[in-house]
Chain A
Amino acid sequence: MFDYSTNLGKAQLPNPILTASGCAGSGKELSQFFPLTELGAIVTKSIMLKPRSGRATPRMAETPSGMLNSIGLQGPGIDLFLENDIPWLQSQGARIIVSIAGETVEDYASLARRVRNLPNVIGVEVNISCPNVENRGMVFSCQPDTARAAIENVRRNIGGEIPIFAKLSPDVTDIVSIAREVVNAGADGLALINTVLGMVIDVNTMRPKLAQKTGGLSGPAIRPIAVRAIYQVRAALQKVPIIGMGGVASGKDALELILAGANAVSVGTATFGNPGAAMQIKSELETALIERGFENFVDAVGYAHRMETQ
């Protein structure tokens, strides 16, 4: 009997397939296509303290094997999120990882206090790497000191009861040093990777396609970047739980991230093209692992790092 369960620090999951924040709405939209309890966990769209309109349109451009977005964290704010979205997810029996995003390091502390003790919330993703913020210089995870400050503020407010995961940007010179910094600041685990900053110019209008000019690139086009980031961080930090994401659209894609060192895999942009993507990937990954002779999912985590003689 194949054992599909995995651990993310203290959080135990029946399977390693999660949604990616910002790619599953509030959960209600996807529940028509599969029961949310079938996921290892649903990761909610990054929530901020106040309601947020997001950026102007056009917000999206399709690119080869990917898409560029500048949604800008549109959302209802923490009050309405706790009033509407969380109770509904709880009523479904879903395991929930709440993703939080702040404009200041203090915001992270306030948000952490609001989400630390909620039924079914098994973890918190600290999104310190959204590229669609007002001041691109303030992508917290791009500087060691701001990355540390945001994570410390969450850690001070969430004890050992649930794990916190720092979501990092690949748009840095050395992701391993940022990863070490946030783990030293108290992160229990990491979420790798956020979107990659990109841009598309319409050659007919000869202007940028997005109203905000730049946006976050996602989809299979960035998968090799995710695999590289996860592999590098796993090699340096052998015990830290990693939620891997970046262009996973099939079971074999998920397996690639797992072999690189991911303890769980989030499905993001693939859901936009296929509402049932997470369930398809869950079933394909199980088959791919069994075909390769694995009896336990956890044995495949980081398997690409084994000695060459093995």
Chain B
Amino acid sequence: MSAINARAIQTSAEIISNKKIGAYHHMVFAVDSIGATARPGNFVAISVGGPSSSMILRRAFAIYRASDKGSAGGHIELVVAPHGQGSKWLTSLPLHEKVDMVGPLGTSFGIPTQPARTILVGGGYGSAPLFGLAEILKTRGCRVDMVLGASSAGKIYAPLDGKRSVTSMTITTDDGSAGLHGRVSDALPKLIEENDSEIIYSCGPMAMLEAIQSIADRYGLVHQASVEESMACGIGVCMTCVVPLRGDDGIVRMSRTCIDGPVMDGSSVVWNSKGIIPEGTWGL
């Protein structure tokens, strides 16, 4: 055995809840061991389309919340945006249907050992893994300011029960249909200054994460970013989901977001490198 994918299992997971919330579906899966071992930031990979499907690759979903208890035993919750064929198929499944699930996969958000002042920033359904994280941070005595942004009000995922675990909640929309008119990066500097924030946690599109990193640099903050690059396998064998990441030795390597991520140190990611291999990358 090796340390890679060390907690992952492949299992059959029963759908025990599937509710449409705004533009998304909140889905709950009964899956004992993943519920017990998942940490905030981890993801699962689910087969889609059924046995005769022409969709051969799994779909990766950040875990919204995980628990090892409940009326149906251990379970995990996902927030699914029915955008593509695979996620549409998944959200259309009836209750008690079972899906083939692999998880928990990937790195998780680092939790401070001492109470800290944190800001959690999510774009669209990228807010999903942040609520589970917020609950843990809150129990550790952290201040949790959350900023959620999307193109319009219907694409903000901010359930009522999730809001309980945050100290403050700021919403931004590109069209001004809810909250502040603008982007999350427009709202961040003021929040950081007002709350004397120490750590930023983020999840969302790469361009948003890059903008957050430049703010983190300006204020000298730690930034843990959950990155997204399209994956084929989710378990580290295919090498498709890579981003350039600077190692502790200072060398930039094309690194797999499925096992070296999705949560990466934002200051180590070489941002804005879609379509290129940055100069000096190992093995270029």
Contacts and interface: CB of A to CB of B under 8 A. Distances in A.
B57 to A, nearest CB: 5
Interface string B43-68: 00001000000111110000000000
Interface residues of B, number: 41
B32 interface: no
Nearest to A77: B283
B275 A275 contact: no
Contacts of B242: 54, 57, 59, 74
B4 A54 contact: no
Nearest to A25: B237
B232 interface: yes
A249 B2 CA distance: 26
Interface in B70-123: 100, 102
A83 interface: no
Interface string B247-284: 00000011000010000000000000111110001111
B211 interface: no
Contacts of A220: 56
Contacts of A60: 230-232, 238, 240-241
Contact of B10 (A51, A59, A219, A276): A276
Contacts of A76: 283
A53 B282 CA distance: 6
Contacts of A24: 237
B222 interface: no
B175 to A, nearest CB: 21
Contacts, number: 128
Contacts of B253: 53
A275 B45 CA distance: 11
Given A30-B235, A33-B10, A273-B47, A71 B58 contact: no
A23 B277 CA distance: 22
A58 B4 contact: no
A272 B56 contact: yes
Contacts of B283: 50-54, 74-77
B236 A29 contact: yes
A198 to B, nearest CB: 15
A62 interface: yes
A51 B282 contact: yes
A29 B259 contact: yes
Given A57-B243, A69-B240, A271-B233, A62 B10 contact: no
Contacts of A31: 1-2
B119 to A, nearest CB: 28
A67 interface: yes
Given A29-B236, A30-B235, A69-B232, A273 B57 contact: yes
B135 interface: no
B230 A58 contact: yes
Main secondary structure of the interface of B (DSSP, over half): loop
Nearest to A270: B56
A32 B6 contact: yes
A108 B115 CA distance: 57
Contacts of A51: 282-283
B232 A53 contact: no
Contacts of B56: 62, 65-67, 219-220, 249, 269-270, 272-273
A22 B273 CA distance: 24
A275 B235 contact: yes
Interface residues of A, number: 46
Nearest to B281: A53
A28 B8 CA distance: 13
B261 to A, nearest CB: 13
B14 interface: no
B5 A29 contact: yes
B204 to A, nearest CB: 18
A303 interface: no
A274 interface: yes
B226 to A, nearest CB: 17
A76 B236 CA distance: 15
Nearest to B237: A25
Interface string B1-43: 1101110101000000000000000000000000000000000
Given A51-B283, A60-B238, A211 B4 contact: no
A56 interface: yes
B274 A272 contact: no
B42 to A, nearest CB: 14
Interface in B115-152: none
Given A32-B1, A60-B240, 5 more contacts: A32-B8, A33-B5, A57-B243, A69-B240, A76-B283
Interface of A: 22-25, 28-33, 45, 50-60, 62, 64-67, 69, 71, 74-77, 88, 211, 219-220, 249, 269-276
30 contacts: A24-B237, A25-B236, A28-B4, A32-B6, A32-B8, A51-B282, A53-B281, A53-B282, A53-B283, A53-B284, A55-B277, A57-B242, A57-B274, A60-B241, A62-B55, A64-B54, A66-B56, A67-B56, A69-B232, A69-B238, A74-B239, A76-B283, A220-B56, A249-B56, A270-B56, A271-B233, A273-B57, A273-B58, A274-B47, A275-B102
